Amino acid sequence: MKWEVVIGLEVHTQLTTQSKIFSPASTAFGAAPNTQTAVVDIALPGALPVMNKAAVEKAIQFGLAIGGKVNRRSVFARKNYFYPDLPKGYQISQFELPVVEGGAITINVDGVEKTINLTRAHLEEDAGKSVHEDFHGQSGIDLNRAGTPLLEIVSEPEMRSAAEAVAYAKALYSLVTWIGICDGNMQEGSFRCDVNVSVRPFGQAEFGTRREIKNLNSFKFIEQAVHAEVRYQIELIEDGGKVQQATVLFNPDTGETRAMRSKEDAHDYRYFPDPDLPPLVIGEDWIERVRGELPELPAAMQQRFQSQYGIPAYDASTLTASKALAAFYEATVAAGADAKLASNWIMGDVSATLNREEKDITASPVSAEALAALIKRVMDNTINNKTAKDVLKKMWESGATDPSVADTIIERDGLKQETDTGAIEAIVDAVLAANPKAIEEYRSGKEKALNALVGQVMKGSGGKANPAMALELLKKKVG
Amino acid sequence: MTVRTLKQLSDLLAAGKTSAVELAQDYLARIDALNPTLNAFITVDHAKTLAEAQAADAARAAGNAGLLTGAPIAHKDIFCAEGWKTSCGSKMLDNFISPYDSTVVEKTRAAGLVTLGRLNMDEFAMGSSNENSFYGAVKNPWDLQAVPGGSSGGSAAAVAAGLAPVATGTDTGGSIRQPAAFCGITGIKPTYGIVSRYGMIAYASSLDQGGPLAHTAEDCALLLNVMAGFDERDATSLQHDKEDYARDLNQPLAGLRVGLPREYFAEGLAADVAGAIDAAIGELKKLGAAVVEISLPNTKLAIPSYYVIAPAEASSNLSRFDGVRYGHRAAQYEGLNGMYEQTRAEGFGTEVKRRILTGSYVLSHGYYDAYYLQAQKIRRIIANDFQAAFAQCDVIAGPVAPNTAWNLGEKNADPVAMYLEDIYTLGVNLAGLPGMSVPVGFGNNGRPVGMQLIGNYFAEARMLNVAHQYQQVTDWHNKAPAL
């Protein structure tokens, strides 16, 4: 039987506020345990939550960025359950009336565009952490993270493969970091995905029973976990079993998913509106102000890059992977580099080197202006492409923020292209004399035979000959 | 004993005729003598009290005294106070020394009031007789066989017995008004949101409201002036302009329209209570008030509505008492759930457990709509009834409770019978309105009767005016029990 995979994601994004969602304590990561806790975070008797407006503002930003509906009135509810790292015995979240509803995100898998609709996004507080190491037979509780603001973003079950799920997670990640509501630090848990997976025979309208893979904090794990889960479900059904609704954990070491709890022991969370917090009312003026302050979004920027710079869709999409990369590109073009050449260089050597060194574009030792100066020397035939790659490597090693660095290196190392016809002619003559067979082939109609000789001319010139000029001369001589 | 009011003490202090230390010593001596009988205080700490009194005297000597600097006060054990055990009447918090001040305590400290100690109460403010305290029942100073009312029973008994001139209390379903009535003193529950709930241990968040208990309406106004005010640390605190609640005390009552709800004088109201209320209304008429009959048709529905909403909120509010971070933790248990179960089984009393179970039940999947949502609808209807009534009158008058104080132990076996005693007070909390209790005489058994005054939102000054004018022509508030 052919199986269709159905995937929906719930993503917890940690919002970049200075203080917690309902308390004045700091949200900074990595402090000594329980030092970032106000009375609310420890849930002392009598402590009361007070809404942090900065968190609401970030939710509004998100709602506008995905084209969703920002609810003028939303309600905080209590999700009741006991756990040592949940100090109040309930989590303040939003249940019936979330702050954002609807909206969509576009993904691109192998050149095919697809729109993934979002169900909702709601504000809630994070729990603390249980620490099991260092306590013999006991657990420690660190409440520094308790009360950190989260925006839980829930998609419709519209993804049909692990690749789509990863593409969605990446697109969402790119968006929340782009608009600056999340720092995107996945190791520290700033962006955590719960993935709901089910399978059904192709053509069947109803969904299969789903299992939810909890807490995946890397794109690689999402891909591996979905594959493992799909394999498990299909094998189970084909062996005559039935999928039981469950929450599962993915173990990256074994590559397997393992059930944590089944539907039978699911909690009754006894949701009800939190009487300590009045409904969250968001005025039209607040929404309009946030709308006015939103940065240009990736989709709009891609369109603009195509029309303004005349670069292909692929380039535009790659260059808008992050705001910093897009800014670097625009600065390079603004400094005089050809738009397509700048794109090629940034997507090519610059990105490759950054990847190798595990650096972000913001850490590039070569500035956009310095790169543009280098590209200009390719444009005006001062150096050829191959030499330019070497120059870039040198610029990278020495660091190049000033636009003069490329010229200095070209001058110092004598890398200027040889454009003196007389000098190249001598080399061409020598090369032709040593390769009678190639001449033979060319004359018999094999055009490409001369291309091999260009390489020899280049070599003879120490790389400084202009390859186009060399080919021109070869053709003329063999003529 | 003669009644000493906060106003009188404030005048004596201002005139230099007494000092904060002298007053503190005086009251502490009386507490030492009578508290073993009354059990009104959970915690008394002479050293702490005297230190506060000395600081108050020093402030006065330095010319930094406010109106109430150096006057004594006692706090219901529900208001967190830094350095004081804040038990909420529960074994669960018997070892809890609060590391922070509630807004109410912070404000009374800032006003220079000297803390005499911490007052007994029904555990987590759940009860109408103060018999649900881990620290034992409080006795009614008027009759040691009688309950003082609850949940602010310690507050009412302490003031009535002269162990403190004024006290703080909280009122979720009548917990200031009913003990004030049972102990023959004056108490006011303000409009919901006037007094900050920050640091006031939550029973039912949407109903809880702090307020003063005192001998007189004037003292209530003075203390409410200290306690009230917007607090950004409480999201349900109202951004209401600061008021002087004493400003209208001396206004004449001519033209005042007093509404008498038919349902508050119907079957179930004891004859002696009705008689005392009628006489008090007669006094108001003599002062120029006109009486109009009104109707609060859904009065009876307040009981089921309240006993769904309050336990629902309580079941969640009390989840934090899990033995993990502070408070009681069982010595013997197995596993995490065992720790929770054993800790809570040991730490909570019967009535608290009953309400947690009730609340968990009404919020559970499949029952929420039938109970909680329905109760919220009734709540709105009750609030609307009051608004319709206030179209016809300025204040509503009636009994606080159907009967005078009952005997200790009398209703313990039948919680529903005790819930029914709350019939006249619950509606005010459900609607978020201000309500007060004014002593208006004694029942056949010699136990005090309280008249309830209910005002529209923010009508505290007018209600205190009515009570004050009444107290100018009567002396029930000046009666003291023989102890």
Beta-strand runs (E) in B270-416:
290-294, 395-399
CATH architecture of A421-478: Orthogonal Bundle (1.10)
Nearest to B340 among A82, A270, A276 (CB): A82
Task: Kindly state the tokens that stand for A336.
Answer: 């005089």
What's the rounded Cα separation, in Å, for the pair B281 and B453? Answer: 11
Residue type for B172, please?
Answer: T
Pairing between strand B72-76 and B114-119?
parallel
DSSP reduced 3-state for A129: strand
Are B363 and A80 an interchain contact pair (Cβ–Cβ within 8 Å)?
Answer: yes
Indicate yes or no: pTM above 0.80: yes
Instruction: Answer whether A329's CB lies under 8 Å from A369's CB.
Output: no
Residues of A in contact with B363 (CB under 8 A): 80, 270-272
Are B205 and A276 an interchain contact pair (Cβ–Cβ within 8 Å)?
Answer: yes
Residues of B in contact with A80 (CB under 8 A): 315-316, 319, 363
Nearest to B372 among A48, A141, A272 (CB): A272
Q: Which A residues in the span 273-292 are in contact with B, Cβ-Cβ below 8 Å?
A: 275-278
What's the rounded Cα separation, in Å, for the pair A383 and A388? Answer: 6
Are B99 and A44 an interchain contact pair (Cβ–Cβ within 8 Å)?
Answer: yes
Task: Return the percent helix, strand and coil in chain B, to nearest 5.
Answer: 40, 15, 45
Instruction: Answer whether A382's CB lies under 8 Å from A415's CB.
Output: no
Q: What is the pLDDT of residues B127-178, one digit of tens each?
A: 999 999 999 999 999 999 999 999 999 999 999 999 999 999 999 999 999 9
What's the rounded Cα separation, in Å, for the pair B85 and B250? Answer: 40
CA-based nearest residue to B396, from B323, B459, B439, B352: B459
Instruction: Answer whether B292's CB lies under 8 Å from B256's CB.
Output: no
Residues of B in contact with A89 (CB under 8 A): 316, 318-320, 322
- CB contacts < 8 Å between A and B, how many? 100
Residue-by-residue DSSP string for A9-42: EEEEEE---SB-SSSSSB--TTPSTT-S--HHHH
What's the rounded Cα separation, in Å, for the pair B148 and B131? Answer: 9
Task: Kindly state the tokens that stand for A255.
Answer: 């590559």
Are B322 and A89 an interchain contact pair (Cβ–Cβ within 8 Å)?
Answer: yes
Q: Is B319 a catalytic residue?
A: no
| Chain B touched by A372 (CB under 8 Å) | no
Confidence (pLDDT) at A263: 65
User: So where are chain A's domains?
Assistant: 3-286, 296-413, 421-478
* Domain covering B6-256+434-478 in this structure, CATH number: 3.90.1300.10
Task: Convert A353-375 to b/e letters by CB count within 10 Å (16 or more is b).
Answer: bbeeeeeebeebbbbbbbbbbbb
Are A46 and B320 an interchain contact pair (Cβ–Cβ within 8 Å)?
Answer: no
| Chain B touched by A270 (CB under 8 Å) | yes
| Angle ∠(A150,A156,A159) on CA atoms, nearest 5 | 110
Are B234 and A46 an interchain contact pair (Cβ–Cβ within 8 Å)?
Answer: no
| Chain A touched by B367 (CB under 8 Å) | no
Task: Convert A229-261 to b/e letters by CB count within 10 Å (16 or more is b).
Answer: bbebbbeebeeeeebeebbbebeeeeebbeeee
| Chain B touched by A468 (CB under 8 Å) | no
Are A276 and B236 an interchain contact pair (Cβ–Cβ within 8 Å)?
Answer: yes
Are B206 and A51 an interchain contact pair (Cβ–Cβ within 8 Å)?
Answer: no
| Chain A touched by B106 (CB under 8 Å) | no
Find the residue in B nearest to A142 (Cα).
B325
User: So where are chain B's domains?
Assistant: 6-256+434-478
Count of C-beta atoms within a 10 Å radius of residue B341: 16
| Chain B touched by A56 (CB under 8 Å) | no
Beta bridge partners of A74: A280
Start-to-end C-alpha separation, chain A:
65
| Chain B touched by A42 (CB under 8 Å) | yes
Compute the average pLDDT of residues B120-130.
97
Phi, psi for residue A228 in degrees, rounded to 5: -65, -40
Task: Tell me the HSE value of A58 on the side-chain side, using a 13 A CA sphere.
Answer: 29
Task: Kindly state the tokens that stand for B32.
Answer: 């030492």
User: CA–CA distance from B463 to each of A26, A212, B265 (Å)?
Assistant: 44, 58, 20
Q: What residue has token string 């004493």?
A: B246
Are B315 and A78 an interchain contact pair (Cβ–Cβ within 8 Å)?
Answer: no
Are A44 and B98 an interchain contact pair (Cβ–Cβ within 8 Å)?
Answer: yes
Q: Which B residues in the span 272-331 are in contact with A, Cβ-Cβ below 8 Å?
A: 312-313, 315-316, 318-322, 324-326
What's the rounded Cα separation, in Å, for the pair A408 and B105? Answer: 73
pLDDT tens for the 479 residues of chain A, in order = 799 999 999 999 999 999 999 999 999 988 999 999 999 999 999 999 999 999 999 999 999 999 999 999 999 999 999 999 999 999 999 999 999 999 999 998 988 989 999 999 999 999 999 988 778 878 899 999 999 999 999 999 999 999 999 999 999 999 999 999 999 999 999 999 999 999 999 999 999 999 999 999 999 999 999 999 999 999 999 999 999 999 999 999 999 999 887 766 667 999 999 999 999 999 999 999 999 999 999 889 999 999 999 999 889 989 998 899 999 999 999 999 999 999 999 999 999 999 999 998 999 999 999 999 999 999 988 898 889 999 999 999 999 999 999 999 998 988 887 767 777 888 888 888 888 888 888 888 887 778 888 888 888 887 778 888 888 888 888 77
Find the residue in A nearest to B100 (Cα).
A39
Top pLDDT among A314 and B195 is at: B195
**Which residue is catalytic, options B175, B196, B305, B437?**
B175
Confidence (pLDDT) at A1: 79
Count of C-beta atoms within a 10 Å radius of residue A72: 14
Confidence (pLDDT) at A464: 79
Q: Of the given ranges (A210-219, A468-477, B114-123, B252-261), which has the lowest mean pLDDT?
A: A468-477
| Chain B touched by A265 (CB under 8 Å) | no
Confidence (pLDDT) at A35: 95
Task: Kindly state the tokens that stand for B104.
Answer: 């109410």
- H or E element at residue A120: strand A112-125
Confidence (pLDDT) at A446: 82
Most distant CA pair in chain A: distance in Å? 96
Residues of B in contact with A275 (CB under 8 A): 204-206, 236, 313
What's the rounded Cα separation, in Å, for the pair B149 and A285? Answer: 50
- Best of A131, A276, A281 to substitute, by most chain B Cβ atoms within 10 angstroms, is A276
What's the rounded Cα separation, in Å, for the pair A372 and A386? Answer: 16
Task: Return the percent helix, strand and coil in chain A, to nearest 5.
Answer: 40, 20, 40
User: CA–CA distance from A223 to each of A168, A201, A229, B311 (Å)?
Assistant: 11, 21, 10, 46
Q: Is B76 a catalytic residue?
A: yes
Confidence (pLDDT) at A472: 83
Gap from B129 CA to chain A (nearest CA, Å): 23
Query: Cis omega before residue B305 (within 30°)?
Result: no
| Chain B touched by A264 (CB under 8 Å) | no
Residues of B in contact with A272 (CB under 8 A): 312, 316, 363, 368, 372
What's the rounded Cα separation, in Å, for the pair B346 and B329? Answer: 8
Q: Which A residues in the span 127-166 are in contact with B, Cβ-Cβ below 8 Å?
A: 141
What's the rounded Cα separation, in Å, for the pair A127 and A106? Answer: 31
Rg (CA), chain A: 29
Q: Is B175 a catalytic residue?
A: yes
Residues counted in chain A: 479
Phi, psi for residue A152 in degrees, rounded to 5: -95, 120
Gap from A201 CA to chain B (nearest CA, Å): 33
Phi, psi for residue B464 in degrees, rounded to 5: -65, -35
Confidence (pLDDT) at A103: 98
Are B325 and A270 an interchain contact pair (Cβ–Cβ within 8 Å)?
Answer: no
Instruction: Answer whether B347's CB lies under 8 Å from B321's CB.
Output: yes
Gap from B370 CA to chain A (nearest CA, Å): 13
Residues of B in contact with A127 (CB under 8 A): none
> What confidence category does residue B404 fall into, taking pLDDT thresholds of 50, 70 and 90?
very high
Residues of B in contact with A78 (CB under 8 A): 316
- CA dihedral (A214, A217, A223, A224) in degrees, to 10, reads -70
DSSP reduced 3-state for B357: helix
What's the rounded Cα separation, in Å, for the pair A252 and A220? Answer: 10
Gap from B359 CA to chain A (nearest CA, Å): 10
Beta-strand runs (E) in B226-356:
257-261, 290-294
What's the rounded Cα separation, in Å, for the pair A52 and A37? Answer: 15
